[in-house]
Amino acid sequence: MSAHALYGFLLVRRRRKVLRRKWYLFSFWIFLVWYADCLPDELFDDSTSTVLLDSDGNLLGAHIADDHQWRFPESKTVPYKFRACIVEFEDRGFYSHMGVSPSGVGRALWQNVRSGRRVSGGSTLTMQLVRLMRKNPPRTYSEKVYEMILATRIEMRYSKSEILRMYASHAPFGNNVVGLDAAAWRFFGRPANQLSWAESATLAVLPNAPGLIYPGKNHDLLRNKRNRLLNRLRKIGKISESEYRLALLERLPEKPHPLPNAAPHLLQKCIAEGKKGRVIRTNIRSRIQKEADFLLENHAQLLRENGIFNGAVMVTSVETGEVIAYIGNVVESGSEHANQVNCIDASRSTGSIIKPLLYGKSLESGTIAPSMFLRDVPSRFGNFSPKNFAGTFEGLIPADEALFRSLNIPMVHLLQNYGLTKFHSNLKRMGFTTVRRSASHYGLSLILGGAEVNMFELNQVYTRMAQQLRYGETSQLRLFPSEERDISEFPMNSGSVFAMFEAMLEVRRPDEDNNWHLFDSSRKIAWKTGTSYGFRDAWAVGVTPDYVVSVWVGNADGEGRPGLTGVQAAAPILFDIFQSLPMKTEWFQQPESEMVEVEVCSVSGHRPTENCEKQTTAWWPKGALQTTACPYHQRIHLNRQGKRVNSSCADPMEMQHANWMIIAPDVEEYYKKYHPLYKPLPPYLSQCEGANTSNSLSILYPDIGQKIYLPVGLNGEQQATVFRCSHSNKDAVLFWHLDGQFVQQTAEFHEIVVRPEVGKHLLTVYDTEGNKKSMWVEIVAGRIE
Ligand SMILES: [Zn+2]
């Protein structure tokens, strides 16, 4: 070879060498780039179970993951005992290696070569994590190398405790149980941090051979593995000799435990609201939830005999606004009776359950004072003639009594006096989003159950009122600690709320019902029941300074049942639940600055005049001061024979004076039945002026025997007509009745607008002096030519 050729040869060789080195460098660079990016951002993207926790982090219930695995979302920590067990069993060098254990690999190779088959994997926990991440691909040598590379990369990105945490969360424990948390619940019925050494050791040997656990099969093999691990733990000093001996005696799990299912409807609600696959911490107190559920199920057994299958209970803390018990239905009733329906979120007719709100707003606005008389006579409001539940009429009834006895007629009068539209918008401002239609759509039946509410919002309104009274500010109910507290003021002042709660205290509990005697009557609870039309819904809501409890009982499909009333079906559950709650605060403090102490006529409940003989004192919310003084007690003059006289017919010196209760004749008819001591107004002495006062009242329109032609409008509605009266006394108050039903009272201008149906009607008008005029009126459809 010539020098020239040699030079050329060397040059080429050198070039090749440089090229090869460049190639190596380039390959290494490529490898580094790949290596840096060889792990996905998240190692696992499996679907997870939805896990519901109580306020202390205890499991309330869980829903299986989409791939039908019990795989809880990754936990934040691995309990100490399981950590010790898994490291000792799987990878003793875990805390010192960098993802790959050379001695482990060497040992495994040696064992495999010597035995001629694969007996040992030599995998570190980090490499096993890679296998879990890669969904257990077939075990080949190249796969093994790949796992090693990824394991070193994992070690660079994550701390040892994170690696262990991910491993524990994704390790298989047999059948469809994945991860330590689900395994602890499924096999031992307890959270992982409460497992014993023996239990932790049992779980630690399973990921290596998950088939060992089910169902009680291979128990000897499993026990041997567990005991060997326990022995090793003893040797390295993790457990003492006595702990070891005791651990050996522990039994292996037999069959999987069902997971707790303490709040199934809340769990479903969370899933439906987009919290699927997460760990959801709630404000539920497990003890209270269980107790309330137990009491509801208890009562439901009896209710089922009467064809009542569904019910719901909610308990909230007044102090925090937290929902501490949430029972959406009676699970025992079975799916054929729609036990999956969440009755807390269902809109149902209110019955009387919102009557206290009208009472409170009427006090605030000065429409009534707390015990002021309301009319309780047969009444007609347009085409609406409400009835009291018992079918009785008592003439006049104190407002607070009308509230706690839930009389319908006085409350409809009250709604009319307070203002339907105003109350309707109050309900919306208070937070009832289900009161969607217009005030005129509901009409005055709004107060008797014309509108629908759901339990959550109902409970919220009562909780906010209690908060308003206790703290002067309120917050929305919170199911989850993650929800922010939204502070606001309730649209009713504290004085009126206090008076309302006092009226709801109800010391006179119905004693004919046996369910009541069990209740400790020394405990103060403001409460109200509601029964919807057709016995479809039974409600009860109760308030103390600490808790608000609501109960609903009925059928999810809306079927009504006799006996499905708030008092009979819902209230006993309410009181049982209160009985089970710890009592902290006895009662609300009276809000001094918003209330005044006043003299009150103890009969009528108005501010007294000098004619009111029986007086008492009471605390009123300030708004009530706007009500009138007692119109019932008046001074009258009598002669010796007890006849009424005046200066036209008797010598003033001879007269006796008396304060007398004077009520309208239409009311008197009913009032006197319930008040045997009531004395009717004595008649005038015949020669007195005003004795023949029947002339002072006259019906101006219609005339006797007149037929009234009323055209029917395009919408089918009868046109209205106006009836007119006159009275010689300009201060007279007249009470108008149509067909025996009270329609309206008038003062000063005695006119009423009515819309009677076609046919004959009896019009009767009374004044307070006992005068009465009646006539038949005939309404004819069509137009007079
Ligand atoms: Zn009086």
Q: Are 392 and 401 in contact (CB under 8 A)?
A: no
CA–CA dist 125, 537 (Å, integer): 59
CA of 624 to the centre of ligand 1 (A): 16
Element (H, E) at 106: helix 102-115
Q: Could you state, in order of their start, the residue ranges of all structural domains in the chain?
A: 1-37, 65-249, 342-580, 632-691, 694-781
Ligand 1 center–CA 501 separation, angstroms: 25
C-alpha angle with apex 165: 160 to 169, nearest 5 degrees? 150
- Extract the tokens encoding 144: 């093994």
In three-state secondary structure terms, 455 is helix
Which is the CATH superfamily of the domain at 342-580?
DD-peptidase/beta-lactamase superfamily (3.40.710.10)
What pLDDT does residue 715 have?
64
309 in Cβ contact with 557 (< 8 Å): no
CA distance 276 to 272: 8
Could you tell me the distance, in angstroms and rounded to a whole number, from the CA of residue 418 to the centre of ligand 1?
22
Which pLDDT belongs to residue 694?
Answer: 55
Q: How far apart are the first and last CA of the chain?
A: 142
How much distance in Å is there from the Cα of 661 to the middle of ligand 1? Answer: 7
Span 463-521, pLDDT tens digits: 999 999 999 999 999 999 999 988 999 999 999 999 999 999 865 554 444 455 445 66
Q: Cα(696) to centroid of ligand 1, in Å?
A: 26
| Separation of CA 626 and ligand 1 centre (Å) | 16
How many angstroms does the Cα of residue 479 sit away from the middle of ligand 1? Answer: 50
Spatial distance between the Cα atoms of 66 and 43, rounded to a whole number of angstroms: 18
Integer-rounded Cα Rg, in Å, for the chain is: 41
CA of 598 to the centre of ligand 1 (A): 14
How far apart are the CA of 614 and the centre of ligand 1, in A?
A: 7
How much is the pLDDT for 520? Answer: 60
* Cα 641 to averaged position of ligand 1 atoms, centre (Å): 25
Token readout for 41 is 């951002």
Distance, CA of 486 to CA of 477 (rounded, Å): 9
The class (CATH top level) of 694-781 is: mainly beta
Q: For 599, how many CA atoms within 13 A lie in the half-sphere containing its CB?
A: 9
Number of Cβ within 10 Å of residue 392's Cβ equals: 13
| Residue 457 DSSP class | H
pLDDT tens per residue across span 350-383: 999 999 999 999 999 999 999 999 999 999 888 7
Q: At what angle do helices 125-133 and 160-170 cross, to 10 degrees?
A: 50
Asked whether the beta carbons of 672 and 680 are under 8 A apart, the reply is yes
Whole-number Å distance, alpha carbon 679 to ligand 1 midpoint, is: 14
Strand locations in 188-317, DSSP E?
279-281, 310-317
| Neighbouring-strand partners of residue 621 | 595
Structure tokens at 496: 């009126």
Average pLDDT score, the chain: 89
CB 295 within 8 Å of CB 573: yes
- What is the identity of the amino acid at 248? L
Residue 555: the pLDDT is: 95
Distance from residue 2's CA to the centre of ligand 1 (Å):
141
Provide the 10 A C-beta neighbour count for residue 706: 11
User: Which pLDDT belongs to residue 118?
Assistant: 53
In the reported structure, the alpha carbon of residue 202 is separated from the centroid of ligand 1 by a whole-number distance in angstroms of 82
d(CA 598, CA 363): 14
* 109 Cα distance to chain centroid: 64
Cα 223–chain centre separation: 49
- Residues lower than pLDDT 50 in the chain: 119, 510-514, 517-518, 784-785
The residue written with tokens 């099969």 in the block is 217
What distance in Å separates the CA atoms of residue 563 and residue 560, rounded to the nearest whole number? 9
Ligand 1 centroid – CA 611 distance (Å): 7
Secondary structure (3-state) at 753: strand
8 Å CB contact between 378 and 385: yes
Interval between CA 54 and ligand 1 midpoint (Å): 56
Q: Which CATH superfamily is domain 65-249 in?
A: Biosynthetic peptidoglycan transglycosylase-like (1.10.3810.10)
Give a three-class secondary structure readout of 6-58: HHHHHHHHHHHHHHHHHHHHHHHHHHHHHHHCCCCCCCCCCCCCEEEECCCCC
How far apart CA 781 and CA 726 sit, in angstroms, is: 27
Burial of 458 (0-12, 13-18, 19+ CB in 10 A): buried
Counts for the chain of helices (H) and strands (E), in that order: 21, 28
Distance 360 CA to ligand 1 centre (A): 23
Please tell me the predicted confidence (pLDDT) of residue 663: 87
Q: What is the C-alpha to C-alpha distance for residues 583 and 410, in angstroms, rounded to an integer?
A: 35
User: Distance from the CA of 618 to the center of ligand 1, in angstroms?
Assistant: 14
Question: What type of residue sits at position 573?
Answer: I
Closest CA to 120 of 105, 133, 132, 130: 105
Instruction: Give ∠ CA 400-404-405 in degrees, rounded to 5.
Output: 110
Rounded Cα distance, 88 and 236, in Å: 9
CA of 662 to the centre of ligand 1 (A): 10
